[in-house]
Chain A
Amino acid sequence: MEGVLNQLPIGLSIGAVLLLIALGLTFTFGQMGVINMAHGEFIMAGAYTTYLLQGVGFLVALPAAFVVAGLMGLVLEWVLIRRFYGRPLDTLLLTWGVSLILQQLARDLFGAPNVQVLSPEWLRGGIGILPYNRLFIMALAVLSVVAIWAYQHRTAQGRRMRAVMQNRRLAATSGINTGRVDRLTFFIGSGLAGVAGVALTLIGPVGPALGTYYIVDAFLVVVAGGLGRLRGAVLAALGLGLLNSYAEFWTNASLAKVMVFVVIIGFLQLRPQGLFVLRTRALT
């Protein structure tokens, strides 16, 4: 019985991980329609940043990873992706190519084996089944969501971002520099991936393949939540986290994963656009 109860916080913490890895995608995919397969490698960049900054302090790694991954995203957007607007499916293949290069680059820079990243002292131990590092990840997820919400709703730049998301052409005619907004969005979205990478060093391997372990899950959260919807991403991540947690508890890890896929496919039958739909009048 205790085990069943324990699965609730575990489910929420899995959800928090899912949310962190998917949050950035809701912007790059949601706002810009860019299917960024290199998102996983931005997560990896965040994790390696943490590795390099060991000794300086774990909390320093958070802003550093945000900037490193964010700048990588910015460069990617500026050099390549901006040529691809209106060709979302092509961005998928393009960014997959980028992700292959980044993986190999990580292998050449840091070596093929996983590198050692130790949790900071103050994150060791825990309350009941939930270790402090899981609580930290949950807190980080909450903080990220609040920060994004505040940015989108309380700053001028954030409002421009929403305007472009809702109607790019109208926003452009209203004098918004959509190119700049896009770059900034990509910076933030990729930066969030970097933050997720910092968090993942607490619970998982840090190696060149890190991104590949999370990318499909991240996309599923975004698809289930509805493009570009913060609310949708939060609910989808928590729902999938809980589903995963209980499904694995009662069956096993393999079946739980398959069940998550089946539920998502079934769910899209009911709501093809995800949990929350951004209403537009556009066709196709």
Chain B
Amino acid sequence: MRNTPWRSWAAFAVLATALAACGGQSPTSSGGSAAGDGKTIKVGILHSLSGTMAISEVTVKDAELLAIDEINAAGGVLGKKIEPVIEDGASDWPTFAEKATKLIAQDKVATVFGGWTSASRKAMLPVFEKRKALLWYPVQYEGLESSPYIFYTGATTNQQIVPGLDYLKEKGKKKLFLVGSDYVFPRTANKIIKAYAAANGMQILGEEYTPLGHTEYSTLVNKIVEAKPDAVFNTLNGDSNVAFFKQLKSTGITAEQMPVMSVSVAEEEVAGIGVDNVAGQLVAWNYYQTTDTPANQKFVAAFKAKYGQEKVTSDPMEAGYNAVYLWAEAAKKAGTTEVEAVKKAAAGVSLERPEGQVTIDGDNQHVYKTARIGVIQPDGQIKEVWNSGKPIKPDPYLRTYPWAGGLV
């Protein structure tokens, strides 16, 4: 009995030595083919492959891998093939920071494509800034950020939320109710919406947040019913959308009477919510599977060929797919994958992508994107009913919008 702790300590020591051995070996096994030498260029893919965010992020990972395959098939970058190193962020923000460190410090990747939630981006930001490495972040987000080591290929607020509001205003929806999950994107989005409403004679009848993963919406629906808004602006995330739309639908309120404008519901989510529950509702994005461009026909066909005919494509997937192409283009232009050179070369890089023309804005490292409002169709696809005509210049701090003056 008395020896038990001794045994434990011995086991501990053995384990620790094993750990040291593993750790000590890894540089030789993986450090050799760092970016710039060897036959391949390593890039990191860092999304949640497990946990609550996996539903969404796995599809972006798939799209990014598709882009890498295509680029490799066309000869690669700078005469070398791209070799993806895939890591799992596990829906956990510190894990994102940890894996980002691993990709940069141990795998020595040329760049990283990854992240979905704002929290995961905020957790990775210091890692990339301190180690002077590059991150390509592919999801629409709340703006108010412009890190020199991050490229943002999803929409910032003036490319998604502001056009969504313009559309509602045009349709004469003057009284809004705001519903969102309780985290930074909905709160910031709603701050912008309130400023916009104040400047445009619109009225905000209510602003409600629910915890992530919340599934009981009857009280909230009752609050909406009582407030009688013209439209609801919905920034709920993930599974909450399912519960919200099911419970809203069952009260008999139709999309014609009171449309819901969502900014986090894409083709991927429609099936889970149930097409019946969400058909006719509005969404605001920059890309739909139905977007009519030659590049998109190719993208949709290639994605289905690789991952299955029943798969759908969505805005964040397209933004991730674009990110790989934009990086490759910038690296070609720079003639190297070295971070500072790529950053410099990236400014002004412009490509025809599935969503149309995208151009990197050198000032804030976001991209010009065309805003598109869509209506969810009974077949689960989204039909575009309005677009901004031309790509909108990204303005993460809304500096060019006088009504947003007090926000930042």
Contacts and interface: CB of A to CB of B under 8 A. Distances in A.
- Judge A-B direct contact (beta carbons within 8 Å): yes
B271 A248 contact: no
A93 B274 CA distance: 35
A244 B208 CA distance: 15
Interface in A114-150: 114-119, 123-126, 129, 131-134
Interface stretch (B34-42, B78-86, B209-217): B209-217
Interface stretch (B221-229, B284-292, B332-340, B351-359): B221-229
Interface size class for chain A?
35 or more
Nearest to B246: A203
A106 interface: no
7 contacts: A10-B218, A14-B219, A116-B271, A131-B251, A203-B246, A212-B213, A254-B182
A13 interface: yes
Given A7-B222, A252-B208, A244 B216 contact: yes
B211 A257 contact: yes
B347 interface: no
Given A116-B275, A133-B250, 11 more contacts: A3-B225, A6-B225, A17-B216, A114-B269, A115-B272, A119-B250, A131-B250, A203-B250, A253-B182, A253-B211, A253-B214
B272 A113 contact: yes
B223 A131 contact: no
B208 A253 contact: yes
Contact of A124 (B213, B250, B275): B250
Contacts of A3: 222-223, 225-226
Contact of B219 (A10, A115, A205): A10
Interface stretch (B11-19, B52-60, B384-392, B399-407): B52-60
B55 A114 contact: yes
Given A114-B272, A114-B273, A116-B275, A249 B225 contact: no
Interface string A41-67: 000000000000000000000000000
B250 A253 contact: no
Interface string A1-41: 01100110010011001000000000000000000000000
B218 A13 contact: yes
B268 interface: yes
A204 interface: yes
A245 B274 contact: no
B161 to A, nearest CB: 22
B71 interface: no
A102 to B, nearest CB: 15
A124 B225 CA distance: 18
B219 A113 contact: no
A54 to B, nearest CB: 11
Contacts of B220: 248, 253
A254 B213 CA distance: 11
B63 to A, nearest CB: 15
Contacts of B269: 113-114
B124 to A, nearest CB: 22
Given A113-B268, A203-B243, A203-B247, A10 B222 contact: yes
B222 A129 contact: yes
Nearest to B238: A205
B364 to A, nearest CB: 33
B239 A114 contact: yes
A204 B246 contact: yes
A75 interface: no
B23 interface: no
Interface in A237-271: 244-245, 248-249, 252-254, 256-257
A120 B402 CA distance: 50
Instruction: Identify which of A113, A118, A129, A206 gathers the most chain B CB atoms within 10 Å of its CB.
Output: A113
B215 A129 contact: no
